């Protein structure tokens, strides 16, 4: 049994808003220290950090663009400097583009989606594994990928490229869960459905949750906190025998 009584450290990418912010606040309340990575909105990330600090968490806020390897390496260098350990990665950073038919997609649009949602997720996970792996002297750990119900639904006429990027994240989750289990690392994913966050506005449909909620068996959109509860559970020792899970948090849709 481990005698290490220090607070566990959780890295959350895209930690300044939506599901990332809700996860940060819940994890802080459950006893984690945090590294919050954000791409552009420093004020939002600092606001989340202050809320986490108010319940006793130590929090480091780091600007990072996960689509750029140099930025990812700098993020982890800062994590090493401040905490010297990593126990949980929440691979949450993600983008989408305007809701539109597939034939209107540009190469630039698709490149941006995959560079952040796929390549970025892989780069961040790689650096986390290098620190967690028991084969490399780490203590093991947990990776929770934030995928989407779009991965199994396809998002036709809206965001097929986004859905495909999340399908890639599901495949990564399944493959890494098998590869990394002998190294002490669990890998799972949550797949949120219609959730009240501002990502819908970035796709040009701020009212999307309300417009589609009739398609949800539970007849409502979910909250970021409801997704965060699933993430924090998967990250925790309460899920110690769970790896390779793709957990839908979608109200039955």
The catalytic residue positions are 162
Strand order in the sheet with 246-249: 59-63, 33-38, 9-13, 88-91, 141-146, 185-192, 246-249
CA dist list (Å): 117 to 53, 65, 218: 29, 11, 28
CA pair distance 101, 85, nearest whole angstrom: 44
**What is the H or E stretch that residue 129 is in?**
helix 121-132
CA pair distance 120, 138, nearest whole angstrom: 22
Pair 25, 48: CB distance under 8 Å? yes
Nearest Cα residue to 147 out of 162, 132, 125: 162
Task: Give the single-character DSSP code of 231.
Answer: H
6: which residues sit within 8 A by CB, 6+ positions away?
85
Q: What is the dihedral of CA 75, 79, 85, 87, to 10 degrees?
A: -60
Other CB atoms within 10 Å distance of the CB of residue 200: 21
CA pair distance 118, 112, nearest whole angstrom: 10
């Amino acid at each position: 049994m481990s005698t290490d009584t220090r607070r566990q450290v959780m890295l959350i990418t895209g930690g300044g808003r939506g599901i990332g912010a809700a996860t940060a606040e819940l994890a802080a309340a459950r006893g984690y220290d945090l590294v919050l990575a954000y791409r552009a909105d420093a004020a939002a990330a600092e606001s989340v950090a202050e809320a986490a600090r108010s319940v006793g968490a130590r929090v480091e806020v780091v600007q990072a663009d996960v689509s750029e390897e140099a930025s990812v390496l700098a993020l982890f260098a800062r994590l090493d400097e401040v905490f010297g350990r990593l126990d949980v990665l929440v691979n949450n950073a993600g983008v989408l583009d305007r809701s539109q038919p597939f034939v209107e997609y540009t190469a630039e649009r698709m490149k941006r989606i995959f560079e952040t949602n796929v390549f970025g997720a892989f780069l961040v996970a790689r650096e986390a594994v290098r620190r967690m792996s028991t084969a490399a002297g780490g203590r093991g750990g947990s990776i929770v990928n934030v995928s989407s119900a779009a991965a199994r639904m396809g998002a036709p006429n809206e965001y097929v490229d986004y859905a495909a990027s999340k399908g890639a994240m599901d495949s990564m989750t399944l493959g890494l869960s098998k590869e990394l289990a002998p190294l002490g690392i669990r890998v799972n994913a949550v797949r949120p459905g219609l959730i009240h966050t501002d990502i819908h506005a970035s796709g040009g449909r701020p009212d999307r949750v309300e417009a589609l909620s009739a398609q949800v068996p539970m007849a409502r959109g979910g909250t970021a906190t409801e997704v965060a509860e699933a993430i924090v559970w998967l990250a925790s020792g309460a899920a110690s025998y769970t790896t390779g899970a793709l957990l839908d948090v979608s109200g039955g849709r």
